[in-house]
Amino acid sequence: MTLTAYIEGIGLLGPGLTDWPTSQAVLGGQQPYRSRKTVLPSPALLPAAERRRSGAIVKLSLATGLEAIAAAGLDAASLPSVFSSSSGDGENCHAICEMLASDDRQISPTRFHNSVHNAAAGYWSIATGAMTTASVLSAFDASFGAGLLEALTQVVVDDTRAVLLACDTAYPEPLYSARPIPDAFGIALVLAPQRSARALAQITVDLTDAGADRLDDAALESLRIAIPAARGLPLLCSIAQRQDKHLVLDYLDSSRLAAAIALC
Amino acid sequence: MNLLWLSHFTATSSIGRGLDQTLTALRQRSAGLAPCAFETVDLATFIGEVAGVDAVQVPSRLADYDCRNNRLALLGLTQDGFAEAVHAAIVKYGAQRIGLFLGTSTSGILQTELAYRRRDPASGALPADYIYGTTHNTFSVADFTRHYFGLTGPAVVVSSACSSSAKVFASARRMMAAGLIDAAVVGGVDSLCLTTLYGFNSLGLISEQACRPFDTQRNGISIGEAAAFALLENTPEHLDADAVLLLGIGESSDAYHMSSPRPDGLGARMAMQDALQMAGLRASEIDYINLHGTATQSNDAAEGKAVHSIFGSGTPCSSTKGATGHTLGAAGGVEAVICALGLQHGLLPAGLNTRQLDPTLALDYILENRARSVTRVLSNSFGFGGTNCSLVFGRAGKP
């Protein structure tokens, strides 16, 4: 059983990748990839109080999601959303665990509400005014694949456009040693059920037993392995290379995603 | 929508292990809430703790997953023949054709909270026996469950705070309708930890008494823990009259505030209306509403307004959180099972601990159990970040 949708907009932010338009030459192989620490923009769309309280995962989600939706020429408030992350805000989690292990356990209200896995979805809804459904997922290293499947089933079954926001941020030490995600990385995709003039590529996905594709560039391949959301990079590379392609994207230990990309 | 059959289901919470104890507790109106004596927590509050979680032993092959949340998951999975039903479904459909969708808010974070007390004084490092991925990580409970059963199909955790294990039904429905899977294990598991107890305390949202939903004097939640599961299959041609079906789902977001619901209840209203629309039902065809009913001032006020705007004052409703406590990411699953029991046994469960109903919330909030035939029910689950989900369940046979 395959799932087919059309990619109408792409958002990208990660180490050495500042947005989708300027990253295409790198992902397409025309320019070398140079890793540089991810710079997260301040989320201008949020009211001032929320902006002050927002952590890295919120900034990353807003930046990538809004980029994809703007590129597709759509209104964020109209789109159902799928947020998929290995975990919530790492810095915030560290701060809470540190306080709870101390003599003073009175964590702040902001720390607590930022600790929920759906913090990014909540801030997104406040920023965009979207009262649509938001699916908020985690599948550890399989989070990109899980998010893509959820977004595709939403598009196909409910016959609606949807935005996928696959984002991960770093844990500080000592958690970093236990979960070494080195930096922030996010991919957002606007997916549509029908082909329109905006469509960049058609994507058709099925489950497969085949092993996941690796990237040719060693530095990009280590990025793909290091951050769960970057497991989606082969998909963006194939679009950047302007090539129809059959890919295998990483997912669970028991199955991967076979993705056929056909440019529109 | 294609009707989905809850062919097997089970719940374990502070009111009981499995369906028999849960049903008995509901009939006897007994609550599972007691003064908090969990771990080293020094808060004056009531909690709904599941007895015996620490004694559960995870199989040695899954030792890396050992934490309170996965012990509670295992305790829940092994009630009511649920594990046997999953094994039978694997034989029937194949392990790769069964999806797994579990809700949790804090997963095994307690493991990290405890590890932070044992950091190396010089380096700050966490102890060598601490394992993040299989305990603390949000996905851990689904990963544990899929390895426990040998499931190889799509698997995911939904973690949208207190709507998590209601929204798993929505994700499962879509994946079944898309044809990627033939059946789904859905549910929710959330266990006590310091983050939620001290976190809700910081917001002034935990009560020092057993929570009193929809009471004039309500002043906060009582945190509980639970594991609830259901096996979803496509509806066969012939079903027993008391088989339970999922009829409709509605989901929405508030776009309002991180920790307060929209005062006008608009998000909640949208979720309920969408669930009714998907089920093809009018409000008057719903026999009972299991409210989110957390017993915070703001939730009950907003939810009361939203329910009244659709159902008026005529539909019997209650919150069962006075019995179980608020089991957070497991609440949607537990309350789905309570609704299923109500449908099968003709029981509308009373809300507990409520002494004086808030007269500004003009609902038929029931304070005594009602025994009557029940055909269709609606269950609400709302959460932090303004996430809303409503589910409609029905009995296969009409009365």
How many alpha carbons lie under 13 Å from residue B361 in its C-beta half-sphere?
A: 32
Decide if B326 is catalytic: yes
Is the backbone of residue B339 left (phi > 0), alpha (psi -120 to 50) or beta?
Answer: alpha
- pLDDT tens digits, one per residue of B16-60: 999 999 999 999 999 999 999 999 999 999 999 999 999 999 999
Give me the pLDDT at residue B241, please.
Answer: 96
- pLDDT tens digits, one per residue of B52-83: 999 999 999 999 999 999 999 999 999 999 99
The share of chain A scoring above pLDDT 70, in percent, equals 100
Interface of B with A in 337-376 (CB under 8 A): none
Which amino acid is residue B339, in one-letter code? C
Of the pLDDT bands very low, low, confident and very high (cuts 50, 70, 90), residue B146 is very high
Give me the pLDDT at residue A50, please.
Answer: 86
Secondary structure string (H, E, C) spanning A25-75: HHHCCCCCCCCCCCCCCCCCCCCHHHHHHCCHHHHHHHHHHHHHHHHHCCC
User: Quick check: B399 pLDDT over 60?
Assistant: no
Of the pLDDT bands very low, low, confident and very high (cuts 50, 70, 90), residue B180 is very high
- pLDDT tens digits, one per residue of B300-357: 999 999 999 999 999 999 999 999 999 999 999 999 999 999 999 999 999 999 999 9
Contact B249, A41 (CB under 8 A): no
**Chain B environment of A77 (Cβ under 8 Å):** 255
Q: How far apart are CA B47 and CA B206, in angstroms?
A: 10
CATH code of residue B317: 3.40.47.10
**Smallest Cα distance from A149 to chain B, Å:** 8
Of B292, B317, B339, B389, the active-site residue reads B292
Give me the pLDDT at residue B1, please.
Answer: 67
Of the partner residues B146, B179, B385, the one whose CB lies closest to the CB of residue A118: B385
Of the pLDDT bands very low, low, confident and very high (cuts 50, 70, 90), residue B224 is very high
Nearest-Å Rg of the Cα atoms of chain A is 18
Of the partner residues B96, B130, B173, the one whose CB lies closest to the CB of residue A178: B130
Please, where are the H alpha helices in chain B? 18-28, 68-77, 82-93, 109-115, 140-149, 164-177, 194-202, 266-279, 297-311, 321-324, 331-345
Contact A3 B178 (CB under 8 A): yes
Contact A74, A9 (CB under 8 A): yes
- pLDDT tens digits, one per residue of A139-157: 999 999 999 999 999 999 9
Q: Output the six-digit token pair for B41.
A: 């927590």
Q: Is B202 on the interface with A (CB under 8 A)?
A: yes
Chains A & B: contacts with CB separation below 8 Å: 224
Interface test with A, best of B109, B253, B260 (most A CBs within 10 A): B253
- Give the closest residue to B129 by CA, choosing from B67, B190, B54: B67
Q: Is B251 on the interface with A (CB under 8 A)?
A: yes
User: Quick check: B398 pLDDT over 80?
Assistant: no
User: Quick check: A77 pLDDT over 80?
Assistant: yes
- pLDDT tens digits, one per residue of A100-132: 999 999 999 999 999 999 999 999 999 999 999
Q: Is B93 on the interface with A (CB under 8 A)?
A: no
Residue B349 CB partners (closer than 8 Å, separation 6+): B26, B318, B320, B323, B338, B342, B369
The interface pTM score, or ipTM, of the predicted complex is: 0.98
Contact B352, B337 (CB under 8 A): no
Decide if B8 is catalytic: no
Give me the pLDDT at residue A231, please.
Answer: 98
Tell how far CA B112 is from the center of its chain: 24
The share of chain B scoring above pLDDT 70, in percent, equals 99
| Structural domains of chain A, ranges and CATH numbers in brackets | 7-197 (3.40.47.10)
Q: Is B150 on the interface with A (CB under 8 A)?
A: no
Interface test with A, best of B136, B138, B272 (most A CBs within 10 A): B138
Of B67, B162, B317, B389, the active-site residue reads B162
Give me the pLDDT at residue B372, please.
Answer: 94
pTM: 0.98
Decide if B136 is catalytic: no
Q: Is B258 on the interface with A (CB under 8 A)?
A: yes
Share in percent of chain A as helix, strand, coil (round to 5): 40, 20, 40
Q: Picking from A44-58, A98-112, B182-196, which range would have the lowest pLDDT averaged per residue?
A: A44-58
| Segments forming the whole domain that contains residue B185 | 4-395
- Element of type H or E holding A147: helix A143-157
Question: How many structural domains is chain B composed of?
Answer: 1
DSSP SS3 for A206: strand
Contact B242, B205 (CB under 8 A): no
Q: How far apart are CA B56 and CA B73, in angstroms?
A: 10
